[in-house]
Amino acid sequence: MSTVAPPRPPAAPSPSAPRRGAGLLLRWWRRLTAMRTAIVLLFLLALAAVPGSLLPQRSLSQNNVNGYFADHPTLAPILDRLYLFDVFSSPWFAAVYLLLFVSLIGCVLPRGLEHFRAMRAAPPAAPRNLLRLPDAGELRSPLPAAQALDVVEEELRVRRFRVVRRDGARGPELSAEKGYLKETGNLLFHLSLVALLLGLAGGKLWGYEGSILVTEGQGFCNSFQQYDTYSSGPLIDSGDLSPLCIDLEDFRAEYEENLTAASFTADIRYGGPGEEGRSTTIGVNEPLRLDGDRVYVTGHGFSPTFTVTRPDGTALEDVSVPFLPSDQSTMASQGALKVPDLQADGEDQLAIEGFFAPTGLVQGGILTSVDPRPLAPQVAIVAYQGYLGLDSGIPQSVYSLDASQIDRGSLTEVGSANLAVGEATTLPDGTTIAFTGYREFAALQYSHDPGQTWVLVASIALLTGLLGMLLLRRERVFARAAAAPGDGGTVLTLASLTRGSGENAPRFAALTDDLGAALGARTRAPEPEDPPRDS
Amino acid sequence: MTPDQLASLSDNLFSISVALYSLAVVAFSAQLAFGRRTARTRELVAAGGATVAEEVPAPAAEDTRGRRWGVIALGLTALGALAHGAVLVTRGLATDRLPWGNMYEFSTATVFVAVVAYLVFALRTPGLRHIGLFVLAPVVVAMVLIGLFLYAEAGPLVAALRSYWLAIHVSTAIIGFGIFFVSGIASVLYLAKVRHDERVAAGEDAGGLLSRLPGAAVLDRVAHRTAVFGFPIWTFTVIAGAIWAEAAWGRFWGWDPKETWAFIAWVVYAAYLHARTTAGWRGRPAAWVNVVGLLVMIFNLTFVNMVSTGLHSYAGVD
Ligand code: HEM
């Protein structure tokens, strides 16, 4: 005997490498499509979504993400490398839901095929020993076997069972089944989930969204260059955007007595470029819906207007820029007006940084806003002179000054003032800045999502399938007739099976009672060809 | 009555219902304490139409003192629920709108649904009256916390909430949450009961309140049936929320924190329903999944509303 295993001959009867590979693949496939795996993947999906709600997300607010980077300078880059600021578009989130959907398809499709085969096949033959089923019982009837089964068949058909009669080895028998729609509901539900995912993906690939602040009396056209911010799917390019222009004619914000915002409405005019266009009113909860496109009012604010007059008398009348609300309840707003081209030389540009209060209250020299309605508008401004760097090619925010320009000294403060409408302040060089009033602006959003209708239809199908799956029950009823011992008549053995729930006993008892009653009625009542006669 | 009077009537009714529920807790405790079973009986228990042969403390086997306390407890609960319903009605009349516009109103309504769901079960299934203490005690705690931390003056709705979708989306959210609340408690009791039964089987003297609970199988079935009832409602809530978000916020889904946690809860409940029909997950593991579902729902109602900043910041809590 050798203790060393002889080398295996290459032609050993073990499965060949590709076959082994296939076996392994099959095993993995089975494991992936098992219900246990589905549960684990569902858990993973729930878990994977958690950081998306606890950490700031770029898709929701780039600002908050920047804030997080500032607060956690060492941790943030690490989290970023793990996609934790873009959880819902991260590869690992996608991996979880794609695995889940592969598992789902692999699990549900074979079940579906089996289901359609079962739907066409007759209900299966009755088990040999009916009394062994969880719900079973016996009924006696003086009717002969065939007639007794007739009664049972009729009663079951009224209850929408599919019924087959067979002559089994143990006597005439009957199998009945209903509730196929339960399984159909299950299939519909799971396949709707797939449809929903496809709709979401389509919307992401071919959708876009742009946001813009529009002051009353102005407008914009649907193009990426015009939007303040936009995002678009990878399969969209600027040529695909619907040619539509929108003008904001009037904006109104209404408030309750306690200053709760009651409604925001915008009167707009929309149409193709150069067209006269049509008028409509949009507001919160009421967007403009066009073929595949929607236009929303997502916010509003004020653009204070200023008239800047140089010592030589040249003036810029009623220049304005949107001030962004920093507090929605009082509409206190902040912004910056850059006045580059009043004089040709580049070193003497003017910038105004300001705080706007629709209803101002000055206490101790500090202006605050006490009401979101423009009842007594005031501004607190700080004026700067120097080089604004607008021609430097570095992109700048339209809504604020670059603090580093002030720190570096390229902009120097030359004056500050609190102004009510009509008031003006004069800078050391003789320039006057007059606060002349305000215009309202609306924040508008233009959205295009071709997957949206598809997603809605899939959701409705999903809910329908879910209701079918949860509310319907799949039932099988079997009956077998045998001659009663003694003086004729029949013993009916009845049994039923309900899939997936053990709550069948009272229903079975009720069914047995009904069948007993029907059999009794048939026995007592004379046959139809011998109708009862009234006296 | 003027709106102000109605609003303060609503606030008073809130205190009254908390008082009634607290008395009910006392009465339920007395029922458990005095309702010593004299014999174990086998009885058919209909759990929401289901019939299970289970060993449960049959009301007939309790001594009369216990039975009397049980009736008093249920009566107090029903009175409390009446006052609780009136809190919502008077709020609605005072503000001339649906009374679920802020977190105070929303959570008050949710707890109301949970109490009503429990009452329905208790009336249909006498065996379940014994879990009253375990439902009403969390209810009282929740109501006190709501009164202390979430209270908001009666007032008009902010613009975004003025939509018929408030009636659809928020009502179903309240109903779904109330039902999941009962389901989660049934699973917690199931887990406790299973452990208790194991101790008894091991010969330990496990005694105590738990021996007077309905059987583990009944509790598990209650948990499952309520979750099956709640899941389509929750599914509808999420879909209706998406439809509303499409009109109000310009997109039907944006992974706002509230949306994210609604999704997480939905996935966890789907996992629970799967677990119930999967070998190896039935029983305790599945019940744990249901408990996690309840925790997610509570987290979504409390933490996400109050701490994170999302579009759903209508809590009205400062
Ligand atoms: C996005 C993922 C999924 C969701 C949200 C989901 C949800 C559900 C729900 C709510 C039920 C109803 C349970 C009940 O009847 O009580 C169900 C049933 C079912 N699911 Fe899923 N499911 C998902 C994925 C899967 C996967 C991956 C599989 C297969 C591996 C699967 C197989 C089944 C089966 C076989 C049933 C019927 C259970 C029965 O008849 O007893 N599902 N699913």
| A341-352 tens-digit pLDDT | 655 555 678 888
Query: Scanning every residue of chain A, which has its alpha carbon at the shortest distance from the alpha carbon of B243?
Result: A456
User: A460 CA to chain B: closest CA distance, Å?
Assistant: 8
B157 in A contact zone (CB under 8 Å): yes
Q: Euclidean distance between the first and final Cα of chain B, in Å?
A: 29
Q: How far apart are CA A413 and CA A283, in angstroms?
A: 41
pLDDT tens, position by position, A499-534: 655 567 778 888 888 888 888 887 765 544 444 444
Query: Scanning every residue of chain A, which has its alpha carbon at the shortest distance from the alpha carbon of B161?
Result: A285
A43 in B contact zone (CB under 8 Å): yes
Cα B93 from chain centroid?
25
pLDDT tens, position by position, A198-237: 999 999 899 999 999 998 888 999 988 888 888 888 888 8
The closest CB to that of A285, out of B49, B163, B275, belongs to B163
> Is pLDDT of A474 > 80?
yes
pLDDT tens, position by position, B105-135: 888 998 999 999 999 888 887 777 778 888 8
User: B220 CA to chain A: closest CA distance, Å?
Assistant: 12
Per-residue pLDDT at A78: 93
Q: How far apart are CA B99 and CA B92, in angstroms?
A: 5
Interior/surface letters A3-15, b for 16+ CB within 10 angstroms, e for the rest: eeeeeeeeeeeee
> Ligand 1 centroid vs A107 CA: distance in angstroms?
9
> Ligand 1 centroid vs A28 CA: distance in angstroms?
20
Query: Sorting pLDDT into bands at 50, 70 and 90, what band is A5?
Result: very low
Query: Scanning every residue of chain B, which has its alpha carbon at the shortest distance from the alpha carbon of A253?
Result: B159
Alpha-helical segments (H) within A178-275: 180-206
A447 in B contact zone (CB under 8 Å): yes
Tokens of A376: 């007594």
Per-residue pLDDT at B234: 96
Dihedral sign from CA coordinates of B260, B265, B270, B272:
positive
Interchain proximity A284–B159, CB inside 8 Å: yes
Interchain proximity A284–B52, CB inside 8 Å: no
> Is pLDDT of A272 > 60?
yes
Q: How many Cβ atoms sit within 10 Å of the Cβ of residue A151? A: 21
Interchain proximity B274–A38, CB inside 8 Å: yes
> Ligand 1 centroid vs A184 CA: distance in angstroms?
13
pLDDT tens, position by position, A333-383: 999 888 766 555 556 788 889 999 999 888 888 899 988 888 999 999 999
Per-residue pLDDT at B216: 87
C-alpha dihedral, B158 to B297 to B177 to B49, nearest 10°: 170
The closest CB to that of A261, out of B159, B249, B255, belongs to B159
A26 in B contact zone (CB under 8 Å): no
Q: How far apart are CA A441 and CA A303, in angstroms?
A: 7
DSSP letter at B99 equals S
Q: Determine whether the shortest distance from the Cβ of B277 to ligand 1 is under 6 A.
A: yes
Q: Comparing C-alpha atoms, which of A192, A251, A245, A187 is closest to residue A221?
A: A245
Written as tens digits, the pLDDT of chain B (318 aa) is 788 888 888 888 998 999 899 999 888 888 877 765 443 433 333 433 333 444 444 444 456 777 788 889 899 999 999 999 999 999 888 888 888 878 888 889 989 999 999 998 888 877 777 788 888 889 999 998 888 888 887 777 777 777 788 888 988 998 999 999 999 999 999 999 998 888 888 877 766 677 777 888 888 988 999 999 999 999 999 999 999 899 888 889 988 888 999 999 999 999 999 998 888 888 899 999 999 999 999 998 887 777 666 565 554 443
Per-residue pLDDT at A95: 92
| Residues 119 through 138 of chain A touching chain B, CB cutoff 8 Å | none
Dihedral sign from CA coordinates of A508, A509, A515, A519:
positive
Q: Which of A36, A181, A186, A463 to mutate to test the pocket of ligand 1 (most atoms within 8 A of CB)?
A: A186
In total, the C-beta contacts within 8 angstroms joining chain A to chain B are 129
The closest CB to that of B278, out of A35, A43, A256, belongs to A35
Q: Determine whether the shortest distance from the Cβ of B274 to ligand 1 is under 6 A.
A: yes
Contact B88, B98 (CB under 8 A): no
Q: Euclidean distance between the first and final Cα of chain A, in Å?
A: 106
Which atom of ligand 1 is found nearest the CA of A469?
Answer: 15
User: A474 CA to chain B: closest CA distance, Å?
Assistant: 15
Tokens of A478: 């079997």
Q: Determine whether the shortest distance from the Cβ of B270 to ligand 1 is under 6 A.
A: yes
